[in-house]
């Protein structure tokens, strides 16, 4: 199917196609329009405490649930486990990393194009530009490598409102680099902060080896949810 069939023209600026808009402007446009696009993110991992897949319902999860605790995790049980994990390492002065899950609901279909302006590429560039990011996966991510093509494919169907949908969402709301209207979902890995309250070996500009000691900052666990908006 030709990529032109997927392109959407902005009503206010008919000469510009949405695929040419910067990603931030696209999200702002649809978040503030009747489209009702929502971008929501939550902490899904703190060190070895990981939210199981499917535990959080991406159709219904809300900012109120996410912001109900200090670790920004929508599941109360796992939020407590995450807080406990942070408290343990706080006393050791050795930071930990974790992960954030970001979803986009009610995104319009047809954003971007399938070759040089893929939507996943734009999202990946935006996310990987944040400090401390060491990993990014979309949809099924690395877990998809364990499936066969038949197991991984998202089958299409027509819902009760006459809309074309997919029965599963392993593609994460993007197929062929273009949004398909399903919920977009991505996961981001944050490394532990490099500043620890223990001596570390370094090399100076004069190539002299020495020990360096830092007073630990307050960011024992430094995930910042930069995606969240209403």
- Mean pLDDT, the chain, integer: 80
What is the enclosing helix (H) or strand (E) of 165? Answer: strand 164-166
Query: Per-residue pLDDT averaged across 212-216, rounded?
Result: 63
Query: Per-residue pLDDT averaged across 84-91, rounded?
Result: 86
pLDDT confidence bin for 171, thresholds 50/70/90: very high
Separation of alpha carbons 96 and 86, rounded Å:
8
Residue 215 pLDDT > 70: no
Residue 20 pLDDT > 60: no
Q: What share of the chain in percent tops pLDDT 70?
A: 77
Residue 94 pLDDT > 60: yes
Pick the closest to residue 35 from 186, 181, 227, 229 (CA basis). Answer: 181
Query: Per-residue pLDDT averaged across 126-136, rounded?
Result: 89
What are phi and psi for residue 138, nearest 5 degrees? -125, 140
For residue 219, what pLDDT is reported? 53
Q: What is the pTM of this model?
A: 0.77
For residue 3, what pLDDT is reported? 34
For residue 28, what pLDDT is reported? 58
C-beta neighbour count of 171 within 10 angstroms: 21
């Amino acid at each position: 199917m030709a990529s032109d069939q997927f392109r959407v023209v902005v009503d206010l600026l008919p000469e510009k196609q949405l695929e040419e808009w910067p990603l931030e402007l696209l999200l702002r446009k649809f978040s503030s329009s009747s489209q009702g696009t929502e971008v929501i993110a939550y902490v899904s991992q703190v060190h070895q405490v990981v939210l199981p897949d499917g535990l959080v319902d991406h159709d219904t999860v809300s900012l109120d649930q996410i912001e109900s605790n200090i670790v920004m995790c929508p599941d109360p049980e796992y939020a407590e486990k995450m807080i406990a994990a942070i408290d343990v390492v706080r006393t050791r002065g050795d930071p930990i990393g974790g992960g954030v899950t970001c979803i986009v609901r009610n995104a319009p279909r047809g954003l971007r194009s399938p070759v040089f302006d893929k939507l996943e590429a734009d999202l990946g560039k935006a996310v990987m530009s944040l400090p401390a990011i060491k990993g990014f996966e979309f949809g099924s991510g690395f877990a998809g490598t364990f499936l066969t093509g038949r197991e991984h494919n998202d089958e299409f169907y027509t819902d009760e409102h006459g809309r074309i949908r997919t029965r599963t969402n392993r593609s994460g709301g993007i197929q062929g680099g273009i949004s398909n209207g399903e919920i977009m979902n991505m996961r981001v890995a944050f490394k532990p902060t490099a500043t620890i309250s223990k001596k570390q070996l370094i090399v100076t500009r004069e190539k002299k080896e020495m020990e360096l000691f830092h007073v630990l900052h307050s960011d024992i666990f430094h995930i910042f949810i930069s995606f969240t908006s209403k």
